[in-house]
């Protein structure tokens, strides 16, 4: 239950204060690499029989974090399975954030055309202000001419 | 067939009345946690041989819902396989909604710049109305001047 | 090689003439259900030893299409492995389209606010046209007044 | 460590200079097909015992790249596991880019309505310029009429 709360709370926090796409991409790649190396070493320490050396641990970690999961190496003890759960959730976060980063880049590319059009509109709006100035000046001149004749 | 209909109908309903990103994220995390705990207990009840205790059931559920699927624990009976199908589909929904939530957050961040530009445009449009008022007043004064001389 | 061409061509075609989100969602759910049932039956026909009955075939198909892949049932013959390749690619398409449909729904929800703002801008622009009409009328009246005095 | 740097750097480069959706889709499909064929052949060369022929290698590659990972064929030697790591990461890239391409297509479809509205706004802005020209002409005529009477 507590673990679900942590997942939910950190996810909600992420959504309300989203980091920049580049920062998020950087963080997730580094975090995932750290999780692979760290959990590989941890598994070796927890279960000497299944994990003959650290490389077996990392081999297990990389296939778990990418959700491939061959099953040629699997944790049997409860402690190892708890570690595995975190590696699996890291895998989901990895896939989700990588996909989200690439998607938002594609979407931003697509909306670049919009940005150009918008800048054109802004230029048009600014030109209109110049037109207003011109009309103003002409009206002032007209009024001056009218009053000039009266005097 | 009926099951496909349920998947399709609930999916179509979801798309036509989309919940807020935060509500959807909250719901999917809680629903997935419930499915993991629930199906873990259910598997223990269905298959005493493969699932020695509830923790084995949850260990199977977490690796199924994350689509890792080592295959060290698998349901052999038909009833267990039907439960497994729901857990797998929940896994797809979990991955899809988490990815969608993060993506839409990134996209919203990217379009924030648009929002600022749009507010500037609105200011420009409002200033133009003030210019119209000014022109109006000048024309009224001109007309009054013209009529005043006639009388 | 030919198979890669088919995947690439149909994908390019999909991107250039995208169906509506709802139509795509409907199609992918039905297509995936068809692939699960169809490949389940096909596997039973191809490999009587590994697939004891149609239900084993479908059990294999559902865990393949969701990319869980326990490995408790796997095709050993080349023909079965070719079928499996299609089921796996269908699984990728399923996950990708479901994720895309949910994401675009979330993004559309977020841009609804934009739509309202845009409608307000349009109202402002239309009101400006009314202001132009008013200025026009006043100028016409001024001109008429000026000419009327001359005659 | 060096490998993480390569993943991170190429990912950051991808995000800062995003290719067109169509080019990215084409490249990822071809790259993935190349990785499946290439790693299938490579595995056969590295491990003659597990991989009896090239087809077994490709069968392993396709289930790895789609992250299904049955585990019926797995690399045991370190060299094979290093190759496998690249195939797994290619699988993540494949899924992420395919999902991103489809999502951005759906989002672009949804924003097409925006494009039409924007074109209408541009037409309105251009018509306003015509109105300014008209007002200008009328004021010039008024001024000419006023000056003509004086001479």
pLDDT digits (tens, 9 = 90+) for C55-86: 999 999 999 999 999 999 999 999 999 999 99
Query: How many angstroms separate the CA of residue D111 from the nearest CA in chain C?
Result: 8
Scanning every residue of chain A, which has its alpha carbon at the shortest distance from the alpha carbon of B59? A81
Q: How far apart are CA C91 and CA C74, in angstroms?
A: 16
Q: Residue D28's closest chain C neighbor by CA?
A: C8
Q: What is the pLDDT along chain A (151 residues), one digit of tens a residue?
A: 566 777 788 878 777 777 888 899 999 999 999 999 999 999 999 999 999 999 999 999 999 999 999 999 999 999 999 999 999 999 999 999 999 999 999 988 877 767 777 778 888 888 888 888 888 888 888 888 877 766 5
How far B144 CA sits from the closest chain A CA (Å)?
Answer: 11
Cα of D64 to nearest chain B Cα, Å: 12
For residues A63 and D88, is the Cβ–Cβ distance under 8 A? yes
Residue C1 has pLDDT above 70, yes or no: no
Which chain A residue is nearest to residue D65, measuring alpha carbons?
A68
Q: What is the pLDDT of residue D2?
A: 64
How many interface pairs between A and D have CB atoms less than 8 angstroms apart?
A: 143
| Mean pLDDT to the nearest integer, D103-112 | 85
What pLDDT, on the 0 to 100 scale, is given for residue B128? 84
pLDDT exceeds 60 at position C151: no
Reported residue count of chain A is: 151
Q: Rounded CA gap, D125 and D112, in Å?
A: 20
Tell me whether residues B70 and D67 touch, CB distance under 8 A.
Answer: no
Confidence band for B3, pLDDT divided at 50, 70 and 90 = low
Q: Indicate whether B73 pLDDT > 80.
A: yes
CA distance A109 to A112: 5
Tokens of C75: 């095709």
The stretch D29-58 carries a mean pLDDT of 96
> What distance in Å separates residue A127's CA from the closest CA in chain D?
9
**What is the predicted pLDDT for the residue at C72?**
95
Q: Residue C92 pLDDT > 60, yes or no? A: yes
For residue B4, pLDDT over 90 is answered with: no
* Out of A42-51, B127-136, D81-90, least confident range: B127-136
Q: Is the ipTM of this complex over 0.95?
A: no
Question: Using the beta-carbon criterion (under 8 Å), do A69 and B72 form an inter-chain contact?
Answer: no
pLDDT at D15 over 60: yes
Q: Which residues in chain C are contacts of A107 at CB distance < 8 A? A: 107
At B71, the pLDDT band (50, 70, 90 cuts) reads very high
Q: C124: number of CA atoms within 13 Å, CB side?
A: 19
- Which residue of B67, B70, B103 is in closest CB contact with D103? B103
Question: How far apart are the C-alpha atoms of B20 and B29, rounded to whole Å?
Answer: 14
- Give D119's pLDDT tier (boundaries 50, 70, 90): confident
Tell whether the model's pLDDT for residue C3 goes beyond 70: no
Contact D110 C132 (CB under 8 A): no
Is residue C28 very low, low, confident or very high in pLDDT (cuts 50, 70, 90)? very high
Chain D residue with CA closest to C13: the answer is: D22
Residue C146 neighbours by CB under 8 Å, 6+ apart: B146, D142, D145, D146
Of D25, D110, D128, the CB nearest to C12: D25
End-to-end CA distance of chain D: 91
CB contact under 8 Å between A67 and B62, yes or no, is: no
Is C67 in contact with A67 (Cβ distance < 8 A)? yes
Distance of CA C83 to the CA centre of its chain: 25
What pLDDT is attached to residue B149? 67
Instruction: Give the confidence band of B145 by pLDDT, cuts at 50, 70, 90.
Output: confident
Residue D38: pLDDT band (50, 70, 90) is very high
Measured between CA atoms, the residue of chain B closest to residue C92 is B92
pLDDT at position A28: 95
Q: Which of D33, D70, D101 is facing C69, going by the closest CB pair?
A: D70
**Which are the contacts of D101, defined by CB distance < 8 A and separation ≥ 6?**
A106, C11, C15, D21, D24, D25
How many of the other CB atoms lie within 10 Å of CB of D38?
16
Of B71, B99, B103, the CB nearest to D71: B71
- Residue C19: Cβ within 10 Å count: 15
Contact A68 D70 (CB under 8 A): no
| Residue among C108, C110, C128 whose CB faces B128 most closely | C128
Across D88-105, average pLDDT: 96
- Chain A residue numbers touching D23 (CB-CB < 8 A): none
* pLDDT top residue among B150 and C114: C114
**Would you place residue D46 in the very low, low, confident or very high pLDDT band (cuts 50, 70, 90)?**
very high
Tell me the C-alpha distance between C107 and C115, whole Å: 13
């Amino acid at each position: 239950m507590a673990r679900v709360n942590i997942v939910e709370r950190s996810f909600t926090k992420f959504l309300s204060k989203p980091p920049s796409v580049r920062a998020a991409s950087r963080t997730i790649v580094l975090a995932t690499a750290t999780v692979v190396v760290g959990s590989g070493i941890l598994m070796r320490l927890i279960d000497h029989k299944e994990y003959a050396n650290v490389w077996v641990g990392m081999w297990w970690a990389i296939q778990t974090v990418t959700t491939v999961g061959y099953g040629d190496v699997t944790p049997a003890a409860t402690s190892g399975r708890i570690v595995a759960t975190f590696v699996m959730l890291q895998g989901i976060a990895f896939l989700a954030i990588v996909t989200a980063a690439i998607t938002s880049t594609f979407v931003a590319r697509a909306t670049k055309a919009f940005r150009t059009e918008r800048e054109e509109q802004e230029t048009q709006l600014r030109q209109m202000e110049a037109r207003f100035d011109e009309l103003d000046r002409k009206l002032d001149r007209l009024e001056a001419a009218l009053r000039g004749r009266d005097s």
